[in-house]
Structure 1
Amino acid sequence: MVPARFGPPGIRVGHFARLQRFCQGEAGALPSLPPLNQAEEDAVKKTIWRRQAKAPSAARSDARKWRFAARGGRWQEAVDLLGKAQVPLQEQDFSFVIDSCSKAGAWEAVLGLFFDMEPLQLQPDTPCFSLAVTAAERVERKEELSRVLCSVPDLDAQAYTGVLRASTRSGAAEGLGFLEQALGSCTLPEAGYVHGINLCAQTGAWELSLQVLREVVEQGVVRKVDVKMLGAARAACLQSGQWRRVLELSERMALGQQPDAYGYAVQMTALEKLGEVAAAYELFREMVERQVPINQHVYTALMGDGDGSDTGWERAVLLLEDAQRRQVDVSQVMVGKAIKCCAAAAAWPASLQLLSDMGPDASVAAVSSALCACGTGMQWERALGLLAWAPKMSVQPDAELWNSAIYACGLAGQGRKAKQMLTNMKKRKLMPTVACYNSALVAIGQETRLST
């Protein structure tokens, strides 16, 4: 029997050192040893492993150093030790240090360590991934968040919630893919659904927003969808032009709620887009009867985008007068929309009058619409005069305004004048856009047809 200090029982004296070399993988260590049975080989391996555990290797010693530093809150020291490591690193090594950096608010270090795992072919676990998402959110780098999301592991409900929160705050559309995965794989907490539907509102993902509304009730997370979630879904539909859905969601939001001007304005916008102008004005009368305060958004919604009808511009002008009578602040947006309606109907006298009333508060968009009104009204000379007058209204002519003036010349068949304006643009160091050249070509073609 071999004494314990020389090796495990059952192994012959003098052979233990060579068996140890054999178990460590050294070639040629056992050329003359008799074959071992399975019990003898297992006993040798077990003894060697125990002895190795009692004498820590360099790898274990280094790991202890950066882990001790991380646990002690010395995150910078832990990062430095990890960077100087001469041994293969494991996922848990990064986890310790990343956690320490996050507790200290060192979000740049968290992202750096997270991205260092990729070339080492180390897969971050869910806690590391969640901390990296939070770090990208805190440093406000959308591209960094997108890069983190590309290395996603299998997530649980809490991790999905963190991803959706970060995606919502940074506006990262990649979060929509995670929302779809979450809806099909787990039940999120209420905050997860809220972040998800807010992300849908930002990106216009109206179908996904409606799916969130169904899911949050079917999963028993809430008994009734609140107004904020309905509003987010409505915003997604509004952004995507789903006007019928907007009206349906507005009706759901109105149940048991005090009506407000914004809600009415949204419904009026949807009705105007659907061509149901009479229904929009019916809502306006309802607002007056209920004594709901009317603001500029309501008037802007009623004006529409300028349908080019003979009465559309008159309606816009009357709405401006009504707003002034009700002492509603008339904004540049309201006047600009009214001028746009006049331009669509070629009502250039009204557009010029509205622009004159704006005075020094005129915007580039308003001047551009007035130029288009002169163009559709075949008043190219007035368009050129307005372009020259723009600086006196504190509006510096840019490529957009020059293009509108060239377009006015084009409709009137003033090809030579259009070419001259292109030359003047270059002299003023304004780069003509593709639209400018297209308008000039239209002018030349129109002039040729008129001359023949």
Structure 2
Amino acid sequence: MPEARVVPNEITYNAAISACEKGVQWQLALILLSLMPEARVAPSEITYNAAISACEKGGQWQLALTLLSLMPEGRSVPNEITYNAATSACEKGGQWQLALNLLSLMPEARVVPSEITYSAAVSACDRAGRWQMALNLLSWMPEATVVPNEITYSAAVSACGKVGQWLLALRLLSLMPEGRVFPNQITYSAAISSCKEWGQWQLALSLLSSMPDVKMMPDEISYNAAISACDVGGRWQLALSLLSSMFGMRVVPDTISFSAALSACEKGGQWELALSLLSSMPDMRAIPNEINYIAAISACEKAGQWQLALGLISSMTAACLRTLLLRSCSSSATPGR
């Protein structure tokens, strides 16, 4: 731009850094930010927000916090968007204590937390298995005149489900309409998963079947959780029934769907069905992975079908070599080729 006698200004840099943020190019965003003082352009809170968001999307929580700490030196005042991005960065980085610390610092900075801030903090607690803290945050929101949304509830449901508090997870799901918050696919999937983890396959199926009643169509995540619940509960017939019903609901099974169904067949001693499922995966555009092969191999081994098991080991080895070769070729290829 200087060669064309056009001098970049704050708006130019903000637009460029925002473009890097949207493209998850956090390195370029930081380079642009570092070049601003040389161009005698002072970064604003908009500039910092875009750079912090770029770091958040790129999984760079340390850099996001560093940028936040540098803002006062640049005479930029962090706002709600700044704290939301930084809290989300901590959440994605598994730093739940730092996420909660940012939330606690907001009132001192005269910044009011929003449902986005609380949702990120609750999600951070969910990732860390801190279900009590997740519930505490949810209960504190009304006092802060912040209304929980479906993301907040989904994270809290997930947090409860992961540690065996499936009754609490279902209780939260039932309370959502009272708060005029409607569960979405993520909320239901989290609730179904909470049932899956602790052998409550009947409840998992009940939740899945109730989704259309609230005008919520199950997606592959919902089905995967329900199939896994049947797997854990030793109900291979139901697992296969759910897998086949996905097509009627216009939901495409993925590798996880087949993994759960294969595991159910393996546990139920259904080696022939396991082999049939494995062979059908490519037709469904699902590439078998190591977990899929191991489940089928285990099913054959338990049934004394050692020759078939050896054949599967050979097929798995060949498939892994093909994958490694493709990755090697892809990484060595240049854009011009």
Match of 1:385 among 276, 280, 290: 276
Shift of the alpha carbon at 1:345?
A: 2.6
Amino acid at match of 1:421: L
Aligned to 1:420: 311
Distance 1:188 1:143, change over 3 A: closer
Match of 1:408 among 296, 299, 302: 299
Aligned partners of 1:204 and 1:236 also within 8 Å: yes
User: How far has the Cα of 1:304 moved from its partner?
Assistant: 1.9
Alignment match, 1:142: 26
Is residue 168 from structure 1 mapped to residue 74 from structure 2 by the alignment? no
Once the two structures are TM-superposed, the CA of residue 413 in structure 1 deviates from its matched residue by: 5.2
Does the C-alpha gap of structure 1 residues 423 and 176 become closer, same or farther in structure 2, counting only changes over 3 Å? same
DSSP-derived class of the 2:246 partner: helix
189, 192, 195: which one pairs with 2:77? Answer: 189
Q: Report the CA distance shift for 1:380/1:287 in structure 2 as closer, same or farther (over 3 A).
A: same
TM-score by length of 1: 0.56
CA distance in 1, matches of 2:269, 2:288: 22
- Residue 334 of structure 1 and its aligned partner are, at CA, apart by 0.9
**Residues 83 and 102 of structure 2 are in contact (CA less than 8 Å); yes or no, is this contact kept in structure 1?**
yes
- 1:208-223, aligned counterparts within 5 Å? 208-219=98-109, 221-222=110-111
1: distance between equivalents of 2:165 and 2:24?
A: 43
Cα distance in 1 between the residues matched to 2:212 and 2:295: 30
Give the one of 278, 295, 299 matched to 2:184.
295
| Cα displacement (A) at 1:339 | 0.4
Separation (CA, whole Å) in 1 of partners of 2:238 and 2:296: 18
Structure 1: segments with no counterpart, 5+ residues: 1-73, 79-99, 108-129, 435-452
Aligned to 2:246: 358
Residues 417 and 151 of structure 1: CA distance in aligned 2, closer, same or farther (over 3 Å): farther
The equivalent residue for 2:8 is: 102
Residue 290 to residue 234, structure 1, CA distance change in 2 (3 Å): closer
Which of these two proteins has the greater Rg computed from alpha carbons?
1
Alpha-carbon distance in structure 2 between the residues aligned to 1:415 and 1:313: 32
Matched with 2:334 is none
Structure 1 residues 387 and 352: alpha-carbon distance in aligned structure 2, compared to 1, 3 A threshold: same
CA distance in 1, matches of 2:52, 2:157: 31
3-state SS of 2:106 partner: helix
Give 1:391 shift.
Answer: 4.7
Question: 1:160, 1:179 within 8 Å by CA — same for their partners in 2?
Answer: no
The answer for the alignment partner of 1:369 in structure 2 is 260
Q: Which residue of 1 aligns with 2:200?
A: 312
The size of the alignment, in residue pairs, is: 309
Percent pairwise identity: 25
Match of 2:169 in 1: 280
CA distance in 1, matches of 2:246, 2:19: 47
Partner amino acid, structure 2, of 1:102 = P
Greater displacement, 416-425 / 349-358: 416-425
Does 2:211 correspond to 1:323? yes
Deviation for aligned residue 1:381: 1.8
What code does the residue aligned with 1:247 have?
Answer: L
1:76 matched to which residue of 2? 3
User: Aligned letter for 1:303?
Assistant: I
| Secondary structure of residue in 2 paired with 1:431 | helix
Unaligned runs of 5+ in 2: 325-337
Q: CA deviation at 1:332?
A: 1.8
In 2, distance between residues paired with 1:196 and 1:346? 43
**Residue 233 (structure 2) pairs with residue 345 (structure 1):** yes
Residue identity matched to 1:293: F
CA distance in 2 between counterparts of 1:289 and 1:238 reads: 23
Structure 1 residue 253 displacement after superposition = 2.3
State the match for 2:93 in structure 1: 203
**CA 1:430–1:209 in structure 2 vs 1: closer, same or farther (change >3 Å)?**
closer
- What is the alpha-carbon distance in structure 1 between the residues aligned to residue 150 and residue 21 of structure 2? 34
Deviation at 1:249, TM superposition (A): 1.7
Q: Is the Cα contact below 8 Å between 1:313 and 1:345 reproduced in 2?
A: yes
C-alpha distance after superposition, 1:330-380 (max 9, x if no partner): 222111110011122332111011111113732222112100111122222
- CA RMSD across the alignment: 4.0
> What CA distance in whole angstroms lies between the structure 2 residues aligned with 1:132 and 1:257?
33
Deviations 1:112-149, CA, capped at 9 Å, x for gaps? xxxxxxxxxxxxxxxxxx99977965886333346678
> Which structure is richer in relative contact order (CA contacts within 8 A, separation 6 or more)?
2
2:327 maps to what in 1?
Answer: none
Aligned to 1:85: none
Within-5 A mapping of 1:199-278: 199-219=89-109, 221-222=110-111, 224-255=112-143, 256-257=145-146, 260-278=149-167
Q: SS state of the match for residue 269, structure 1?
A: helix
1:166-225 Cα deviation digits (max 9, x unpaired): 131353414235157449989961324444334334434322222222323224x23x43
Work out the CA distance in 2 between the residues paired with 1:365 and 1:198.
27
SS in 2 for 1:282: helix
With over 3 angstroms needed to count, the CA separation of the structure-2 counterparts of 1:231 and 1:188, relative to structure 1, is farther
